[in-house]
Amino acid sequence: MVFTGNRAEYGLLFPVLKEIKADPTLKLSLVVAGGHFSAALGGSVSEIRKDGFTITASIRPVRSRMTTAEEFAYISTAMTKILSAHRPDILLLLGDRRETFAAAGAALCAETALAHMAGGDITNGGLKDDVFRHAITRLAHLHFPFTKQSADVLKKCGEEKWRINCAGSTAADNFKLIKKTDIAKQTLINLGIPQNAPFVMFTQHPEAQQPGKKQNIAARAAKTALKILKELGIHTIINAPNNDPGWENVMAAVESFGHVSFFKITRHLGREKYLGLMAGCSAVIGNSSSGLLESPIAGVAAVNIGNRQKDRADMGNVVHCGYTEPEIRKAILRALSPAFRKKAKNTGKAFGTGNSAQKIVKTLKSVPIDSRLFNKKLTF
C-alpha cells in the first residue's frame, strides 16, 4: 500500500508506483489524501487518475479549512480504518509532512510494516518538517534515503544499517522518463511563451509561524521576488503554493501580479510538465524543495529564498538568500549569470542514475515480513 498526501511527494512516488503496478507478483493499493483534493490549488488527484492508477481509498478533507491538528487526527483515524480493512504487508510513504506522519502513526498502531522514502534529510526552517521526518524515521522499518549523506544521518540516528537502502532519488527516474517527450515545448506554446525566450520558474510556499503571531513573511518574499523579476522583464512561470497554513496569503501575493503579460500563473502543472519545463528553464526561484532536490538533476541554477529549506543538502547549484529586496535581487542576478549557470550543470550525481524505483521495489519484494523486521533496535 502507498500513501500520498500532496502533489510534490506524489511526483517522487510516481516511478515506484509505476514499477509496482507493472510487477505481476505485487498488488498496488493507493491511498490519496490531503491537498490532492484542493480545487483551489489545482486538484492534483486528477493527475493521479490520468496516470492510470486506481485509487483504493480517498481521505477527503471534511471541510475546506481544517487546522493542522484536526487534519492530523482525521487522517490518522481514516488510515487506521483503511489499514484494518485492507491489511497490506507494507505501507510505503515519502517525506516529512503532517499527513505522512499521521499515516505512519496509524501504521505503527495497526502493526503494519512501514517503509519510508527520503528520510535523513535536514530542513531546520520548515513547518515542523524536520520533526515529522525524523519521527517517521523512528517508526519506519525500512528506509530509502535519497543520498549517502542522508543515509549517514539515519545511521547517526541509531537506525540499523541493514534497514537503510540508499537507492538514490526517484527524481532522477522522473527526468529519465520524460527525456523522450516534447511536453515542455508544447506547454510553452500553451502558456504563450516564445520558444527561444529565457524563462524562470517560481514557487513560494508558506513558512513556519511563531505561535500566536500572524506572519506573512513568505507572501512578502513572493511579492519582492516577483517585483524584481518584473523589473528584469523575464518570462516567469509561477506555480501556486502548497496547502500549508498561510497559503492564501502567498496566493494573493502571486495573483497581484496577474496583470504582468510575461508572468504565467498556474495552479498545478503536473509532474511531467513541471519537470519538463525545469529542464529548459534559466533558474528555479523560491523556497520549494524542488530547487534542492530536482534542479541539481536537471543541471539548472536555483535561488532558495528564506528558511523553509534551511540546512537541506546543497549540491552546488543553489544561491541562498534572505528576505530583503537587496538579498533577493543579488541572488537572482547571480543565479542567472552565465558563469553560475555553467557551474550548475552536472551537480546532481549524488541522486543516482535513474533506476531508484527498481531498487526500492526489489527490496520491498524480497524483505521478509517477520519479527526481525518489526523488532527495531537502536544502535547508539
Evaluate whether 318 touches 302 at the Cβ level (below 8 Å): yes
For residue 12, what is its C-alpha cell? 517522487
Alpha-carbon span 266 to 205, nearest angstrom: 14
Alpha-carbon span 355 to 357, nearest angstrom: 6
Strand ranges, E, within the chain: 2-4, 30-33, 57-59, 90-94, 113-117, 142-144, 199-203, 235-239, 263-266, 283-286, 301-305, 318-321
**Cα 87–Cα 102–Cα 43 angle in degrees, nearest 5:** 95
Strand ranges, E, within 42-171: 57-59, 90-94, 113-117, 142-144
Alpha-carbon span 201 to 281, nearest angstrom: 7
Beta bridge partners of 159: none
Tally of CB atoms within 10 A around 68: 13
For residue 370, what is its C-alpha cell? 517477520
Evaluate whether 175 touches 279 at the Cβ level (below 8 Å): yes
What are the backbone dihedrals phi and psi of residue 237, each rounded to the nearest 5 degrees, phi first?
A: -95, 115
For residue 195, what is its C-alpha cell? 520558444
Tell me which fold the domain 180-351 belongs to: Rossmann fold (3.40.50)
Alpha-carbon span 227 to 237, nearest angstrom: 14
Q: Where are the domains of the chain?
A: 2-168+354-374, 180-351
Distance of CA 28 to the CA centre of its chain: 21
Q: Which amino acid is at 332?
A: I
Tally of CB atoms within 10 A around 307: 19
2-168+354-374 classified as CATH 3.40.50.2000: yes
In order along its 380 residues, the chain shows pLDDT tens digits of 999 998 889 999 999 999 999 999 999 999 999 889 888 777 889 999 999 999 999 999 877 678 888 989 999 999 999 999 999 999 999 998 889 999 999 999 999 999 999 999 988 765 677 889 999 999 999 999 999 999 999 999 999 999 999 999 999 999 988 864 577 888 888 899 998 899 999 999 988 755 544 458 999 999 999 999 999 999 999 999 988 888 899 999 999 999 999 999 998 888 889 999 999 999 999 999 999 999 999 999 999 999 888 888 899 999 999 999 999 999 999 999 999 999 999 888 889 989 999 999 999 999 999 999 999 998 87
Judge if 2-168+354-374 and 180-351 fold alike in CATH terms.
yes
